[in-house]
Structure 1
Amino acid sequence: MKGQSESVTEEKVTGHALHSVSDLLHKFSRWYELHRERELLASLSDEALKDIGVSRADVEHESIRPFWDDPIHK
């Protein structure tokens, strides 16, 4: 029985570590996505911004935000 207890503990630790790595990879992916979206927003023409109801000042404000500043996942 002693061997079984140690195995369960190892599985919990390994599962937790994999979950943490997965969460970290997801966070990095989200940060890259935010960075790309802000770059794309900044590259839009004034006409395109007007079409979507965003001012150039709004774009400037958004584009200077750091990549880790995620308005959805605070």
Structure 2
Amino acid sequence: MSHALTDTRLSVLSDADRLPAVASVAVIVAVAVTKWDARRRTRKHLTKLPPHLLSDIGLDAMTAQQEAAKPFWRD
């Protein structure tokens, strides 16, 4: 189980009025780290999927490898 904040909770924090400057920066960092972690985990799992499951999500092995090779900070 991940302890990362969900997108819903992060959007609530981001939309809060008058957060102190340090809190605003902390929210921005938390959002970035959460997205990076999700990308890292997703790409790691892509490398382990068998071909029949890749085809279920509309990917071939080459496309999955290209996606998995991307660094976590890149969309």
If the length of structure 2 is used for normalisation, what is the TM-score?
0.69
Q: Which residue of 1 aligns with 2:27?
A: 22
Q: Distance in 2 between matches of 1:27 and 1:51?
A: 29
1:43 maps to what in 2? 48
The alignment partner of 1:69 has SS state of: coil
- Using the alignment, how far apart are the partners of 1:56 and 1:44 within structure 2? 9
Aligned to 2:38: 33
**Aligned length in residues:** 58
- Indicate the structure whose relative CO is greater, using CA pairs within 8 Å and at least 6 residues apart: 1
Residue 9 of structure 1 corresponds to none
Structure 1 spans left out of the alignment, 5+ residues: 1-11
1:28, 1:52 → 2: CA distance? 26
Q: Distance in 2 between matches of 1:32 and 1:51?
A: 24
Show structure 1 runs of 4+ deviating over 3 A. none
Larger Rg: 1
Consecutive unaligned residues of structure 2, counting only runs of 5 or more, are 1-17
RMSD: 1.6
Deviation of residue 16 (structure 1)?
1.5
1:53 Cα deviation after fit: 1.8
Identity of aligned residues (%): 24
The structure richer in helix per residue is 1
Query: What is the one-letter code of the residue matched to 2:68?
Result: S
